[in-house]
Structure 1
Amino acid sequence: MEIKNLITQLPWHSTRRWGTRHLSKIDKIVLHQELGEADVEAVNNYHIKPNHISPKGCPHICYHYAIRKNGEIVQTNELSSVTWHTKGENISAVGIMVVGNFNGPGYDMGTSEPTKEQIKSIKFLVDYLQKSLRLTNQDIYGHYHFGKPACPGYELQKLVESFRDNLPEGPKVEKSVKEVQKRLNKLGYAAGAEDGIHGIKTLAAIRRFQFTNGLAVDGIMGPKTWSRLIELTK
């Protein structure tokens, strides 16, 4: 699979340019959806004009990579560029935009779903970036981790969580999503069917559990969250 370089082909803002970083600063990948049915070129043109991100316009399209509906991967900025795709995380994150308008939490106006070709390309690109930047599965995020619940939508959120697959071993308890669902349901957190699928209901239940127990509300069943869940369901 190839990555097509469009960095110089896509038009730039007449005067504005990105700040830069050393690649050692990168510690995460953030997946986004376009939230529209345009193409990469149209998104770029929108970004370099006055827009919701900047009234002065952005230097270039605000992602490092984009994936078209046919699965084509295009690089739109250098990895050393600090683009504006995830507020508070830009200095350390690589932004990937998936073309399409997908349903997500709080957003039911979706007009498409990720294609099989896009899913395949996301997996390829994530693997490529992990190897190039020495990142782990725990370094893969969706925009929903940073305050945008609908991005990148239900299907890609499931994909992100499958990458992360971070349910740890607990004391004398088998590591499994089904076990987490069972224990959350026992406490009344409505994790959905105990089917071993780390879906939206399970993710939401984990976050509710974290909130009510004074834990970091990140939707991740890390060691502190897992230990507290074990303690409350002995």
Structure 2
Amino acid sequence: MEIQNLITKLPWHPTRRWSVRQLSKIGKIILHQELGEADVEAVNNYHIQPNHISSRGCPHLCYHYAIRKNGEIIQSNELSSVTWHCKGQNTSAIGIMVVGNFNGPGYDMGTSEPTKEQIKSIQFLIEYLQKSFNLSNQDVYGHYHFGKPACPGHDLQKLVEKYRNNLPEGPKVEKSVKEVQKRLNKLGYAAGREDGIHGIKTLSAIRRFQHTQGLVVDGIMGPKTWSRLIELTK
């Protein structure tokens, strides 16, 4: 599988450029979705104009890589560039954007799902970057880990959690999970059906609850998270 280098071919902002980091600073990979149905070129043009990220426009496409629907992998910036894809993480993270508009936690306006070709390319690119920078599966994140619950969407979040070994294989029905779902739903965190299956919706709901409560966002219903949940649903 090849990576197409479009760093110089995609238009740049007339004057703005990224700051530069040492490659030794790289410690994580963050997966994003486009949240739209444009192509890579259109997203790049949006970014270099005044936009929601910067009223002055960004230097270039705000990700290091983009993956088209046909699975083609595009490199859009040097890995030494500090792009603006995830607030607070840009100095240490590689950003990957998957083209498409996918349903995600709190966002049900999706118009597509990741293609099989995109999934294969994501896995290839993650493995390539892991080998290049000696990164583990625990160094693979989604934007939802850092305050954007809907990104990169349910399917890609499930993929990320499998890398991170946080998603159980197969259904596992437990009374405690049903209780967690019931209490999260009561507070409006949309944990899905109260079926005792610790799936992606339940995991997303736990993370959102932890984020709003100022807890460690690890998706684990540990003692502190459970105590806070009990307190708020008495």
**TM-score using structure 2 length:** 0.82
Q: Does 1:200 align with 2:223?
A: no
Classify 1:215/1:49 alpha carbon distance in 2 versus 1 (closer, same or farther; 3 Å): closer
Corresponding pairs, count: 216
Q: How well do the aligned residues superpose, as a CA RMSD in angstroms? A: 2.7
- Cα distance 1:226–1:25, how it changes in 2: closer, same or farther (>3 A)? farther
TM-fit CA distance, 1:106: 1.3
Letter in 2 for 1:61: L
For residues 92 and 155 of structure 2, the distance between their equivalents in structure 1, rounded to whole angstroms, comes to: 25
Match of 1:232 in 2: none
The whole-number CA distance in structure 1 between the counterparts of 2:99 and 2:178 is 39
Q: CA deviation at 1:205?
A: 3.9
Letter of the structure 1 residue corresponding to residue 106 of structure 2? G
Aligned partners of 1:228, 1:110: CA distance in 2, in Å? 30
Structure-2 change in CA distance of 1:178 and 1:205 (3 Å): farther
Percent identity for Structure 1 against Structure 2: 69
Report if aligned partners of 2:149, 2:208 keep a CA contact under 8 Å in 1: no
- The aligned runs of 1:149-160 (5 Å cut-off) are 149-160=149-160
> Cα deviation per residue 1:199-224 (whole Å; 9 max; x = unaligned)?
2224424665x6799851231x4xx9
- Paired residue type of 1:155: D
Q: Is the 8 A contact 1:63 1:77 kept in 2?
A: yes
Whichever residue aligns with residue 142 of structure 2, its letter is: G
Aligned to 2:222, what secondary structure does the other structure show?
helix
Partner residue, 1:216: 216
C-alpha separation in 2, matches of 1:82 and 1:225: 35
Q: Distance in 2 between matches of 1:155 and 1:128?
A: 21
Judged with a 3 Å threshold, the aligned counterparts in structure 2 of structure 1 residues 203 and 226 are, in CA distance, closer, same or farther, namely farther
Paired AA for residue 112 in structure 2: S
SS of the residue corresponding to residue 159 of structure 2 reads helix
Give per-residue Cα distances to partners, 1:72-100, cap 9 Å, x unaligned.
00100000000000001000000000000
1:10 aligns with 2:40: no
Q: What is the identity, as a one-letter code, of the residue corresponding to 1:163?
A: Y
Could you tell me which runs of 5 or more consecutive residues in structure 2 were left unpaired when the two chains were aligned.
183-190, 227-234
Shift of 1:105: 1.2
Q: Quick check: 1:102–1:111 contact (8 Å CA) kept in 2?
A: yes
Query: 1:29 aligns to what SS in structure 2?
Result: strand
Contiguous gaps of at least 5 residues in structure 1: 168-174, 230-234
